């Protein structure tokens, strides 16, 4: 289980009469002092295991009598979420969900060091107080994340049923997610698949790394879209799984890390030397990892229609690509 701490670990054994019950309902029955919304948020956050396997779908049905269910409950944190009138680029919205084109630099939800000014604060202003508690108290409406400095398409839920449906899709990886990235060099072959389990870096806890022994399965499909001069490329990366920093880790693992990536993006002097001084300045001054969530497609959890949303590259990445192409 990810990010366990010294907080309470609650356990139970599935009884015969409980076989086939929803996981969130089972936990709510055994632990009535914990709100249903918090239980669902803990499940989505990967804090619940059945027989040592992390389950992230609240609607998951427990199948085996005698299975051991464990839930890690972090110490409660006082959260005072405020609605803030912040810029939001809305690609689509109905009564069930909202699709956002997140700007680079925006944090998704409040956290230490980022108490406000987040996507959650903006959504609370746009959607109203009804959003509070959906999927959990700290991250209302949120079903997935993009890193602060990654731009692009995100979905948020506007009510609990939509949140549960979307959470199930993300937990099962049953959706389409394609990113565009500017890489050092160009992968060869120009189309391929990177398979390498990902886990926490044992030397630097802020990083992830390919860890075939202890990591979780991770698969990234890539395609070179454009060669940028002699030393970079624009690449489409489609996720088969969705691990933390997956594209950044996988591209670095094959020797083609993202330009601007402060954790994984160092380039050799020889690779840098392929660019003119002006191009090198464009790289040095690029303020973030060159990564954009370009496509998000999924079966709408309420209408059951397949929906697909696209976001074109933001201006800063277009400028970088133009500079490196000359």
Q: DSSP readout, 155-213?
A: EEESSHHHHHHHHHHHHHT-SEEEEEEEEES--SSSEEEEE--EEE-SS-TT-EEE-TT
Query: 29 CB contacts (<8 Å, ≥6 apart)?
Result: none
149 is a catalytic site residue: no
Q: Report helix, strand or coil for 257.
A: coil
pLDDT on residue 96: 97
> Which tokens go with 168?
């199930």
Taking only the tens place, the pLDDT of each residue in 15-52 is 999 999 999 999 999 988 788 888 998 999 899 999 99
Superfamily of domain 8-73, CATH level 4? RNA-binding S4 domain (3.10.290.10)
**90-172: CATH, from 2.40.30.10, 3.90.700.10, 3.40.50.300, 3.30.2350.10:** 3.30.2350.10
Q: Where in the chain is the domain with CATH 3.30.2350.10?
A: 90-172, 176-325
Residue ranges of the chain whose pLDDT lies below 50: 1-6
Q: What CATH class has 176-325?
A: alpha beta
Q: What are phi and psi of 233, to 5 degrees?
A: -155, 150
Cα separations (Å) of 192 from 32, 211, 236, 237, 247? Answer: 49, 20, 11, 10, 13
**Which ranges in the chain are annotated with CATH 3.10.290.10?**
8-73
State the catalytic residue, choosing from 147, 174, 261, 305: 147
Please list the helix, strand and coil fractions of the chain in percent, rounded to the nearest 5, in that order.
Answer: 25, 30, 50
pTM of the shown model = 0.76
- Assigned token pair, 175: 């959706």
Tokens of 58: 């609240």
Residues in CB range of 80: below 8 A, 6 or more apart? none
Dist. CA 196–CA 243, nearest whole Å: 11
Q: Is 185 left (phi over 0), alpha (psi -120 to 50) or beta?
A: left
Query: What angle separates helix 36-44 from helix 160-172, to the nearest 10 degrees?
Result: 20
State residue 317 phi and psi, 5-degree precision. -75, -35
Helix (H, G, I), strand (E, B) or coil at 92: strand
């Amino acid at each position: 289980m990810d990010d366990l701490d010294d907080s309470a670990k609650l356990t139970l054994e599935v009884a015969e009469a409980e076989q086939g019950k929803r996981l969130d309902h089972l936990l709510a029955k055994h632990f009535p002092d914990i709100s249903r919304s918090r239980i669902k948020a803990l499940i989505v956050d990967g804090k619940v295991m059945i027989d040592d396997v992390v389950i992230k779908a609240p609607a998951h049905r427990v199948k085996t009598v005698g299975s051991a269910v464990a839930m890690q409950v972090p110490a409660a944190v006082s959260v005072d979420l405020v609605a803030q009138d912040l810029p939001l680029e809305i690609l689509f919205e109905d009564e069930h969900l909202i699709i956002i084109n997140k700007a680079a630099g925006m944090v998704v939800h409040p956290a230490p060091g980022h108490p406000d000014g987040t996507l959650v604060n903006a959504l609370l202003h746009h959607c109203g107080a009804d959003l509070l508690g959906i999927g959990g108290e700290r991250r209302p409406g949120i079903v997935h994340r993009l890193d602060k400095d990654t731009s692009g398409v995100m979905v948020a839920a506007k009510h609990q049923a939509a949140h549960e449906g979307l959470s199930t899709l993300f937990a099962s990886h049953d959706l389409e997610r394609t990113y565009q990235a500017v890489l050092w060099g160009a992968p060869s072959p120009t189309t391929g698949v990177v398979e390498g389990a990902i886990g926490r870096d044992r030397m630097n806890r802020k990083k992830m790394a390919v860890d075939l022994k202890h990591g979780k399965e991770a698969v990234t499909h890539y395609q070179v879209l454009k060669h940028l001069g002699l030393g970079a490329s624009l690449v489409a990366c489609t996720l088969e799984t969705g691990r933390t920093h997956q594209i950044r880790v996988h591209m670095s693992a094959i020797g083609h890390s993202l330009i601007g990536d402060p954790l994984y993006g160092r380039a050799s002097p020889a690779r840098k030397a392929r660019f003119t001084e002006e191009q090198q300045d464009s790289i040095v001054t690029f303020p973030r990892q060159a990564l954009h969530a370009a496509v998000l497609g999924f079966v709408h959890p309420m209408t059951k229609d397949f929906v697909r949303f696209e976001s074109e590259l933001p201006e800063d990445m277009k400028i970088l690509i133009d500079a490196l192409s000359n």
